[in-house]
Amino acid sequence: MPAKNRNDAHSNFARYFRESLSVVTTSTLKMRVVGDERALFYEPPIRLQRSAGDDLYLAVLQTYRVVGAGDGFKVSTTSYSYELLLKKGRELETIAEFHWHPNADGNVKWPHVHVKANSPEGALDRKHFPTARVALEDFLRFLMRDFEVTAILPRAKWKEILTRNKKEFVANASWLDYKPLIS
């Protein structure tokens, strides 16, 4: 539902975003405000709890602005980067990073994922595998399901948070269209 004013739209989005992250971390999320543009981020990456294996880290960068929507206001995402990293010795190495930056200077405008992996074709990390728009909530579920990242909230609670916030995200999305991802 659109917010009554710009400040409420901004605060609601930041609160939902932080709440979704609270499923896996208590780390303070940082925010930068420049004019109408805002960035929410974890950088340097934060450590995640995991049931087994080497330490995993999470880096997040979400940029957005508030726009008019009917009689009210809502948030419009301008870019995202959700990155999973592994600590090897003292170095952090990227495993996968989900990106979307339609307004940036580069040529890649579609949502995509980079995967740090080798193949018969060679290294894959410079390939831009197309994806749908990825919600933070889906990325967090991916980490818990496939990388044994441990939720720090009870199961019923985190499921409720991620389901509710993904629903809110989709309800306010203005990016669902039929256009080809790669033109």
Nearer to other proteins, 18 or 164 (CB): 18
In the shown chain, the binding pattern of residues 71 to 100 toward other proteins, with x for contact by CB under 8 A and - for none, equals --------x-x-x--------x-x--x-x-
Looking at residues 15 to 54 of the shown chain, list those that interact with other proteins (rule: CB under 8 A): 15, 18, 22, 26, 28-35, 37, 39-41, 43-44
Phi, psi dihedral angles at 17 (to 5 degrees) = -60, -45
b/e map 59-75, b = 16+ CB within 10 Å: bbbbbbebeebeeebbb
Sequence-separated (6 or more) residues with CB below 8 Å from residue 132: 111
Q: Which is nearer to other proteins, 20 or 172 (CB)?
A: 20
Which residues between 137 and 156 bind other proteins (CB under 8 A)? none
**Residue 101 touching other proteins (CB under 8 A):** yes
Q: Which of 122, 123, 106 is nearest to 114 (CA)?
A: 123
Helix (H) or strand (E) holding 75, with range, is: strand 72-88
Phi, psi of 143, rounded to the nearest 5 degrees:
-65, -40
Among 20, 23, 58, 63, binds other proteins (CB under 8 A): 63
Q: Is 182 in the site for other proteins (CB under 8 A)?
A: no
Please identify which residue in 61, 69, 95, 152 interacts with other proteins, judged by CB under 8 A: 61
* Token output for 167: 């629903």
